[in-house]
Amino acid sequence: MQMSAKQTPKQTLASARHSPRMLAAFYKALGDEQRLAILRQLAQQGEQCICDIAHSLGRDQSVAYRHIRMLEAAGLVLTRKDGPYLLCRIAPGAKKHLEEPPCLKASRRR
């Protein structure tokens, strides 16, 4: 679920509702305890480097990097380089998925 150069994270999340493939990638990204922990950490503490994320997980940076890439592909995390550091932050609109997953919202509308 890669974002195009002109697509915002919010548009990526919205378009996930229309494509089974994109929706599966979105839920796969949310379907891991460590990725959810990363999202919560970024939501609570703001932008962080991959080394801090890895430390908080108690994992190698390579593991944290793979998780970040999956979250980024799902439109939930944004990254940027600052010298040797990869900085990560939660994407606009992604916090709401930590509060109440979309599938629960849909079931309440019925």
Q: What is the pLDDT of residue 3?
A: 47
**Counted domains in the chain:** 1
Give Cβ neighbours of residue 51 (< 8 Å, ≥ 6 apart). Answer: 61, 85
Q: What range does the domain containing 66 cover? A: 9-109
Residue type, 57: L
> Helix or strand or coil: residue 99?
helix
Domain CATH for 38: 1.10.10.10
pLDDT of 87 over the 70 cut: yes
Structure-token pair, residue 4: 């195009």
Is residue 54 a contact partner of residue 60, using CB atoms and an 8 Å limit? yes
Which parts of the chain fold into alpha helices (H)? Answer: 9-15, 20-30, 33-45, 50-57, 61-73, 96-99, 102-109
pLDDT confidence band for 83 (50 / 70 / 90): very high
pLDDT of residue 110: 58
d(CA 94, CA 74): 10
Q: How confident is the model at residue 71 (pLDDT cuts 50, 70, 90)?
A: very high
Structure confidence by residue, pLDDT tens digits, 17-67: 567 887 888 888 888 999 999 999 999 999 999 999 999 999 999 999 999
Note whether residue 4 is domain-resident.
no
Q: Is the pLDDT of residue 7 over 60?
A: no
The encoded tokens of residue 31 equal 């379907």
Q: Residue 32 has what pLDDT?
A: 92
